[in-house]
Amino acid sequence: MVRLNARAVALTGALMIVPAVAGCGYNTIPTKQERAEAAWADVQSQYQRRADLIPNLVATVQGAAIQERTTLTDVINARARATSVNVSADDLDNPQAFQQYQEAQGQLSGALSRLLVTVEAYPQLQANQNFLTLQSQLEGTENRIQIARRDYNEAVRDYNTTLRTFPQVIWAKTLHGGSQPMQLFTATAAAQSAPQVNFNLNAPPANASAPGGGAPAVTPGATPPAQ
């Protein structure tokens, strides 16, 4: 009888502790961590969507035989770098890894911006429905990236604040002692200035169009000169 009473007391005590622990914020840290990691997955998804669009964009622009080959090469190289730098949810508290990822994606954003500004000088691309569709998809993806980054930053700020405020700070220093602040996206230096575009200003006059006219002429079958 005494043993049954002891078990009953232990069970009653456990049932009382569970809501007490939940009520004092023990589950708050892992819950907000999961939310931030889910937001990170959305960021990666949008960046991957952009990376998947680029090969078709490059192929379409190459088909137009534009002379600004450097811009195409920059995009191709920047895409290769961006897709080679990966940050998992476990690395979100690693400043070096996160900075490398952000810089690689920022370089790709800059290369794409320069390319899209450059091709404005080529009416044949502006009349190419495939190019216009890809351009529209890229613009939409850039908007989604900005929204995903904003949502991620908000989730991370919430999570980081939780690690420093009472009463969750108690759990952060005890049972959740491995929890570390996550990294935030910040504006890059390149984002503060407009894309710099270098057109073929030194191209032979015979191949140049009249001001306001069409694209520079390319001899059929000839390889466009590299910039």
Angle at 139 between CA 158 and CA 212, to 5 degrees: 145
Cβ proximity of 128 and 215 under 8 Å: no
Q: State how far Cα 43 lies from the chain centre.
A: 5
Classify residue 207 by burial, with Cβ atoms within 10 Å: 0-12, 13-18, 19+: middle
Which one, of 118, 112, 125, 122, lies nearest residue 74 by Cα? 112
Q: 10 Å Cβ neighbour count for 94?
A: 16
pLDDT at 191 over 70: no
Alpha-carbon distance values, 52 to 16, 55, 80, 91 (Å) = 53, 7, 12, 24
pLDDT above 90 coverage of the chain, percent: 61
Residues ≥6 apart with Cβ < 8 Å to 65: 218, 224
31-58 pLDDT, tens per residue?
Answer: 999 999 999 999 999 999 999 999 999 9
What per-residue confidence (pLDDT) applies to 212? 35
Band (207; pLDDT cuts 50, 70, 90):
very low
The three-state DSSP-derived secondary structure of 136-202 is HHHHHHHHHHHHHHHHHHHHHHHHHHHHHCCCHHHHHCCCCCCCCCCCCCCCCHHHHCCCCCCCCCC
Peptide bond into 181 cis (omega under 30): no
What per-residue confidence (pLDDT) applies to 24? 57
In our burial notation (b when 16+ CB lie closer than 10 A, e otherwise), range 155-174 reads bbeebbebbeeeebeebbee
Q: Range with the lowest mean pLDDT among 72-76, 79-83, 99-103, 202-206?
A: 202-206
pLDDT at 125 over 50: yes
Band (224; pLDDT cuts 50, 70, 90):
very low
pTM: 0.74
Which of 5-9, 21-25, 149-153 has the largest mean confidence? 149-153
Q: Quick one: average pLDDT of 16-40?
A: 77
Of 24 and 25, the structure prediction assigns the larger pLDDT to 25
Band (159; pLDDT cuts 50, 70, 90):
very high
Using N-to-C axis directions, what is the helix angle for 69-84 and 95-118, rounded to 10°? 160
